[in-house]
Structure 1
């Protein structure tokens, strides 16, 4: 058994901790069998660290862009950024300066006159329509806000917002490297040399090369133009939800604190977001502080104190067994053969081993997944014809299984995948508590991180979709578990806490102030776990002291 605590999602404060090798036989898992050639092979990451095949990495893909008129806030954003110009904020503290990574993505966005709205349909949308099944894209799905602005609950009478904080994943980005594209192109070249491409297969190579060229020009792993827009639009919506708060922050010259993992795409996301915030409330100009890197808080999955988590990912036998069993289901080989049969002539397909077919199909699915995140940089790339929805859904399920067991609720009775997010939950509480007790002079705290942090935090807090670990002897499936990467941690996924203070009634100014907290998850009002009592039935507002009680912060 691997190192790891016992418990379940939605627990209180925690400690902390990465993924897989081990027996390929599935121990104690029902209903899973298939060809042994489907087990993962180890790869070497760009930083030289060995990683499993497609194992628990943030990719870049998802439903598509919306192309149209530039959002009205964009003009204000550009003027606000020009006015900011790296000046010092009024208190003399350093303020945010734009980086090369952000300007590269912004240039592509502005040159194309693009804005990516919250929906998924567009006349030029190359990777789906309004009815697109986001589950095909898993955690690489581009962001789509889940809240309805006209349906947010009003705060209870007498309460006003005094502080906000968020934890956000970076926006859409280029894939990490060219490995999957190179693998697909290699098989296509071999097929072309033997005149074994179908008409459909002959069209795939140029599409893949265009996608790789776009990613290379942007910089592998960097924030894309779509990612910039996701963050900017999210910030503008935040300001519109809380206009009085941001006016008060500006009037009181309170700090807007920005924290990141230090990874360029997270830093660029922070810059895009705060640029949007200043566009919405120009009075914030000069108040947004320069980003601070905090890897223990926002890149905890790679830190030494979580070595037991890395050990789990690399060597846990239960993890290796369940993933090998999931991969080995007959549907994997069937889907891979179907993909190959549509692109190659029968003789070439027959010459490919089942393992080669699966490797090719999964690499193609990774590219399929990456294309929407680069829809500004590679607008003519459309990989939908090369995977049927049924095949894409199966490979997305395999990816979701890796995410579920590597970063999500995972195994019932074990907390190894999410207890390390306790530092982030502690900080969420610490910031609202400091504001409530008068020791914190910040107006907002904005954090930018990765799926490796968002998914464990969602499991630790018991957020929707992250409440059910896999029962002993039963593997994760779409049929019996609600966890979906596209809902739990799409690109630019975010968790926001808003703090409200009660205003004393006339003649009762000496009474202690009551504080309420409202949570948004991907901009949708979201209840805290069931053991927390809201101020009224059906309300999304909770007393701060009640949250402290139900999360065990006494």
Structure 2
């Protein structure tokens, strides 16, 4: 989440005056206990596999392909903990800590040490477990496919963004498949890197996007108007008064209070991902130090930033998700090659980041990612379904299973392991079915001319 600084507080003032203010009543309306964690929410499968639809009679699986966000991880750096600990030390010297403040410092130091031990930005124990469990469920869902892959010596291709946590996720996932069925081990290729495909926001195809993030005044002023609300200031004060005495708080500027409260929230949000590294594996207990209401508000601010910078964003622009076309194209190309008989691939396994999952979800029109907003009616929980914890939690995944009967190929999509309809306008093979003819998906996504 972008920190509030004096520079940010004054940037784009002229544009801000022209931007509609966020409604004062735009307080988060929660849909689940995980919403307040935003995209740091640990992974949970969204559907019981016993309730999956069966493929139409005579169809057998011939290919599975996915894209997965890396699993739960440590924070990417120590900045939040360092900020909080510096403030705690200053308050301690002034005898300005509350009882909770005195307890909070050791908790943060222990969490920092655990994250440093794991490696900042690297997979935690929970993250590795998420990937093992997801791979295990894949093997259980499609036993016939993996038996066919082994019998025909088909390939299992594994590709990542090249970033450490994505590479590690790929290796854990593929390793689990090999453990489940040793006959698959020689068929699983070494994890390869494709930056253009799976780190596109930093690759050549993301140049226009990066310019938008750095220079778009409407984006900057909108995010400022959302963050710089009285509710943010009151939530920040509410967080910090649990830790620091009033006289000490009075020495901090409004912006400094918001930045410090955001740091407390960020530690709270990452703590569940590090649960296995906590004493006794029982969790860090940081919910003692921030109320659910305040965490929900800072979770909303984090979601707003992700919505505008990576998700559906402004309704009159596709700059945040246009670059995900390279990844959607790859999904189609793998299915089309199977249909054409030019591929000996049995599984395509891709591992990436929220910066790729979120735009892909918007491009595909997946649930919660179907509607952008206008400058006059900004993003709020009250009137937009987008939630980071549901769109791209840690370990989020999108999977296509391809089935064949004769010359007909069907596709079933799972989104975080939930059977999910393709976007509006795509017609399934029968009413209520989650299976779609590949020809129909090509028509629906405008790929007919590519055949």
Could you give the per-residue CA deviations for residues 486-529 of structure 1, whole angstroms, max 9, x where no partner exists? Answer: 000000100000000014xxxxxxxxx11000000000000001
What is the aligned counterpart of 1:298 among 195, 198, 204? 198
Using the alignment, how far apart are the partners of 2:305 and 2:253 within structure 1?
24
Partner residue of 1:440?
343
Q: What is residue 416 of structure 2 aligned with on the other side?
A: 522
Which is richer in helix?
Answer: 2
From 423, 426, 430, the equivalent of 1:536 is 430
The corresponding residue for 1:502 is 405
Pairwise mapping of residues 373-388 of structure 1 onto structure 2 (< 5 A)?
373-378=273-278, 379=281, 381-388=284-291
- Equivalent in the alignment of 2:5: none
Equivalent in 290, 315, 331 of residue 412 of structure 1 = 315
List runs of 5+ in structure 1 lacking aligned partners.
1-18, 35-130, 504-512
Determine the C-alpha separation between the residues in 1 that align with 2:167 and 2:47.
25
Question: What is the CA–CA distance in structure 2 between the aligned matches of 1:429 and 1:364, rounded to whole Å?
Answer: 43
Deviations, residues 285-333 of structure 1 (Å, cap 9, x unaligned): 2111001100000000001332111111011000001000000111000
Q: Indicate yes or no: 2:22 matched with 1:32.
A: yes
The 1-side partners of 2:274 and 2:94 are apart by: 32
SS at match of 2:16: coil
145, 161, 181: which one aligns with 1:281: 181
Distance 1:523 1:488 in 2: 12
Evaluate the alpha carbon distance shift between residue 21 and residue 162 of structure 1 in structure 2; reply closer, same or farther with a 3 A threshold: farther
Name the count of aligned residue pairs: 431
The DSSP-based 3-state class of the residue aligned with 1:310 is helix
The structure 1 residue matched to 2:356, chosen from 453, 456, 475, is: 453
Q: Is 1:269 the equivalent of 2:169? A: yes
Q: CA deviation at 1:275?
A: 1.6
Distance 1:20-1:345 versus aligned 2 partners, 3 A rule: closer
Q: Root-mean-square deviation (CA), in Å? A: 1.7
Shift of 1:27: 4.9
Corresponding residue SS for 2:424 = coil
How far apart, CA to CA, are the structure 2 residues paired with 1:381 and 1:281?
A: 36
Which whole-Å deviations, capped at 9, do the CAs of 1:344-388 have from their partners, x for residues lacking one?
A: 112112222211111110011111111111111224522110100
Distance 2:343 2:47 in 1: 29
Q: Give matches, 1:4-153, under 5 Å.
A: 22-24=11-13, 26-32=16-22, 133-153=33-53
Local SS of the residue matching 1:142: coil
1:306 and 1:169 map into 2 onto residues whose CA distance is: 19
Deviation at residue 21 of structure 1 after TM alignment: 10
In structure 1, distance between residues paired with 2:414 and 2:261:
37
In 2, the alpha carbon distance for the partners of 1:160 and 1:147 equals 22
1:315-334 to structure 2, matched below 5 A, reads: 315-334=215-234
Separation in structure 1 between the aligned mates of residue 427 and residue 375 of structure 2, nearest angstrom: 31
Alignment of 1:99-498 (within 5 A): 133-378=33-278, 379=281, 381-498=284-401
Write the deviation string for residues 205-228 of structure 1: whole angstroms up to 9, x where unpaired: 000000110111111111111111
Measured at CA, do residues 425 and 20 of structure 1 come closer, stay the same or move farther in structure 2, by a change above 3 Å? farther
> Of 436, 442, 448, which aligns to 1:548?
442
SS at match of 2:277: coil
Aligned 8 A contact 1:20 1:315 in 2: no
Which region of structure 1 is more displaced relative to structure 2, 258-267 or 304-313? 304-313
Any idea what SS the aligned residue of 2:123 has? coil
| Segments ≥4 residues shifted beyond 4 Å | 19-22
Superposition deviation, residue 22 in structure 1: 4.8
Q: 1:15 — aligned with what?
A: none
Go from structure 1 to structure 2 and tell me whether the alpha carbon gap of 1:213 and 1:553 turns closer, same or farther (over 3 Å shift).
same
User: What is aligned with 2:27?
Assistant: none
Within 1, Cα distance between the matches of 2:432 and 2:9?
42
Shift of 1:203: 0.2
What is the distance in 2 between the residues matched to 1:488 and 1:381?
A: 25
Residues 256 and 287 in structure 1, CA contact (< 8 A), matched pair in contact too: yes
